[in-house]
Each structure stands twice: as C-alpha cells, then as structure tokens.
Structure 1
Amino acid sequence: MSWIFLLLAGVGEMSGMLFLKLSEGFRKRIPTILAIVSGGLSLYFLSLSLKDLPIGTAYGIWTGIGSVGTVLIGILLFKEKANVKRLFFVSCIVIGVVGLKLVS
C-alpha cells in the first residue's frame, strides 16, 4: 500500500504544480485553492508512504514523479520545448526513479 500512497503523492505534486501555474501568482482564487489542496494531499500521502518506505527512497521517487510529470505537463499543455537534451535529462530522472524502486 505504501507504493500506492507514494504514487498518489507524486500525482498530487504534479497537479499542485499545474494549479500553481494556473493560479498566475495566486491571483486566481480557484487554481490557488486547488494548488494548496493538491500540495497538502501530496504531503499527506507522502507521509503515509514513509511508514514503510525508507525516507531517501520515498523522497527521491516522489520528487522524480513530480519533476517528470511536471515537465510532461509543461510540454503537453503549455507548449514548452521538447528538445532532445531536455528529454534525455528527463529520461535520466526516470532511470534514477526506477533504480531507487529496484533497490528498495
């Protein structure tokens, strides 16, 4: 169950960043509220995953999911550049996250 909590925490991190972007510097009320709620849920699920997972592994995977997911959201929704270098370094994060999962 801890891995499911960690996945939910990562999704919360990604959605929090999406709503943070949409809040336009906390000027839009609904996206601001959603960013705060998403961030809170992300931390809550992360805390649940830490009951059974090592902190370094859980934190590394949580930030990896958030980072990769946020980059993909930027590319898909906000038309950010998806050049070879950027995708290469995102794949390095994915490899690191998979590696952390394999050694836990």
Structure 2
Amino acid sequence: MARFKVYRLKSEPILAIDLQTNMLDDLPSRVMVPLYRVGDMSWSISRLNPRFLINGELYVMATQRMAALPVAEIGEPVANLTTHADTITAATNFLFQGF
C-alpha cells in the first residue's frame, strides 16, 4: 500500500485514498477516505472535500467519512494523487483542526 494512492475497494463499488504513512505498512489496516463521483455526493465544502480528476471522471473526497479498513478489503490501485498531497493534507487538517 502507498500513501495518496487511490484504490478500488473489494466490498463496495467505490474508490478510496490511502492516507496512512508508509512507515506503518505492517499494521493490518489502513486509514482510507472514500471518493465519490461528484453527482453522487449531495453537498460538499471546497476545503473539506477537494475534487480530483481520475481516469477522466471527477471525484470528490469525502474527508468526513474516513475510516480504518482491513488491508484485505483494499483492492488494486487505480491512480496516484501524490501530486495533490498538500490539498489532501489540508482537507484532513480542516476536518480535525478547523483550519
């Protein structure tokens, strides 16, 4: 697993971003945040829910819905959002600290 990569989940037909540091790869779970197609999320706040173009489709990061998932539930990688690390980190900072 790799931080800021997007994976397809095995149990649900959604994508999720891995937020967990690579230093903790030995843990049996990863902290992930789901991505939804823009039309599937009824509201968003730009700082909390940034948008990313993945394989030609626009997705919104549902930061407030992050969770720890068992590694066994995480499928194949489909994209790498490392170039958006600052935006992703800013969204988690906004969720936890309000700025």
What interval of TM-score do these two structures reach, taking the shorter chain for normalisation?
A: under 0.3
Whose strand fraction is larger, Structure 1's or Structure 2's?
A: 2
- Give the TM-score taking structure 1 as reference length: 0.25
- Give the TM-score taking structure 2 as reference length: 0.26
Whose helix fraction is larger, Structure 1's or Structure 2's?
A: 1
